[in-house]
């Protein structure tokens, strides 16, 4: 079934650890297909992740892969990219990982506009630890640490990174798999900090507590609530998919290389 992208997997690491019905596997396939279509050099692709269910993703892929500490994927990735800008660096994060413990790194990677392709797999919950509320859990929804409904409001994560200086933001879902592949490709092609929010389902730790009877119900929810720009007026729980914003700004590693060049010229003149 996955023979088209089998070359990108470490067969010995499979089967994966994700629960039945989890969306991370289909997101992983969408990302692998983006890399295949982009025809990237497998030896030059780096995958960096933090900690959590989604951050186990790089371990299954046959690239240079690094599973770092909770929330810290972006500064590790920044070190790799700043040291060797010719590498293609993909960063896989979860919603709690990227927006709570890693929130500071997220806004600063955006501000630097460093050329990383970041993907937040947003399943609205801390799955690995058993279903605690994250900063992306919707208001009123239940987690084990919000047993009476979430009092807090979630981040609008794409608006957050846009305001912080990111130059590309897009959203798709586990259900909109082909669109996700296309958006990951666009994100890769954007020379700057790019974020794709991949809305995914966690049937075990989120769905069961929030009136989703089956994983299929959660995929249908993704299908029904997603809309494209201009398609219709959004209703409650609706969210826009596709490219959300794109802009141009100086990219960190290119600016640093310009600085090196300038200093070289000055020292040659001097």
Residues that bind another protein in the complex, under the rule CB under 8 A: 10, 12-13, 42-44, 46, 48, 58-59, 62-69, 72, 74-84, 86-87, 104-105, 108, 256, 259-260, 263, 267
196 DSSP β-pair partners: 119, 170
Nearest residue (CB) to another protein, 10 versus 228: 10
By the 8 A CB rule, do 117 and 91 touch? yes
Q: At what angle do helices 252-269 and 73-83 cross, to 10 degrees?
A: 30
Question: With respect to another protein, which residue has the nearer C-beta, 108 or 209?
Answer: 108
Closest CA to 82 of 58, 103, 55, 113: 113
Nearer to another protein, 4 or 265 (CB): 265
CB nearer another protein, residue 56 or residue 162: 56
Cα–Cα distance, 53 to 128 (Å, whole number): 5
Nearer to another protein, 39 or 267 (CB): 267
CB of 51 to another protein, least distance (A): 8
Non-local (6+) Cβ contacts of 102 within 8 A are 50, 70, 71, 72, 73, 74, 93
Smallest distance from another protein to CB 64, Å? 4
Nearest 5°: phi and psi at 246?
-155, 135
Q: Shortest gap between Cβ of 72 and another protein (angstroms)?
A: 5
Q: Which backbone phi and psi does 49 adopt, to 5 degrees? A: -140, 170
User: Cβ 253 to another protein, closest distance in Å?
Assistant: 9
Nearest residue (CB) to another protein, 46 versus 244? 46
Smallest distance from the beta carbon of 137 to another protein, in angstroms?
A: 24
Task: State the DSSP string of 163-208.
Answer: HHT-SEEEEEESSSHHHHHHHHHHHHHSSS-EEEEEE---TTTTGG
- Please report how close the Cβ of residue 197 comes to another protein at its closest, in angstroms: 21
């Amino acid at each position: 079934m996955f023979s088209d992208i089998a070359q990108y997997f470490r067969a010995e690491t499979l089967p994966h650890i994700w629960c039945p019905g989890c969306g991370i596997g289909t997101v992983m396939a969408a990302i692998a297909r983006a890399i295949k279509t982009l025809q990237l050099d497998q030896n030059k692709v780096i995958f960096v992740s933090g900690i959590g269910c989604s951050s186990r993703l790089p371990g299954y892929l046959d690239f240079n892969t690094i599973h770092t500490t909770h929330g810290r994927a972006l500064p590790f990735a920044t070190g790799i990219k700043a040291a060797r800008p010719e590498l293609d660096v993909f960063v896989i994060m979860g919603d709690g990982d990227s927006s709570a413990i890693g929130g500071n790194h997220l806004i600063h990677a955006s501000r630097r506009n460093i050329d990383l392709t970041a993907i937040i797999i947003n399943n609205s919950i801390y799955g690995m630890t058993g279903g605690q509320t994250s900063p992306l859990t919707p208001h009123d929804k239940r987690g084990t640490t919000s047993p009476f409904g979430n009092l807090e409001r979630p981040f609008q994560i794409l608006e957050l990174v846009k305001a912080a200086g990111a130059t590309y933001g897009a959203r798709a879902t586990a259900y909109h798999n082909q669109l996700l592949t296309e958006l990951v490709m666009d994100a890769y092609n954007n020379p700057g900090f790019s974020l794709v929010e991949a809305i995914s389902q966690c049937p075990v730790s989120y769905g069961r507590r929030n009136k989703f009877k089956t994983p299929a119900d959660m995929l249908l929810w993704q299908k029904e609530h997603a809309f494209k720009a201009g398609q219709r007026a959004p209703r409650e729980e609706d969210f826009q998919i596709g490219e959300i914003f794109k802009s141009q700004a100086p990219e960190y590693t290119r600016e640093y290389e310009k600085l090196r060049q300038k200093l070289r010229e000055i020292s040659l003149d001097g």
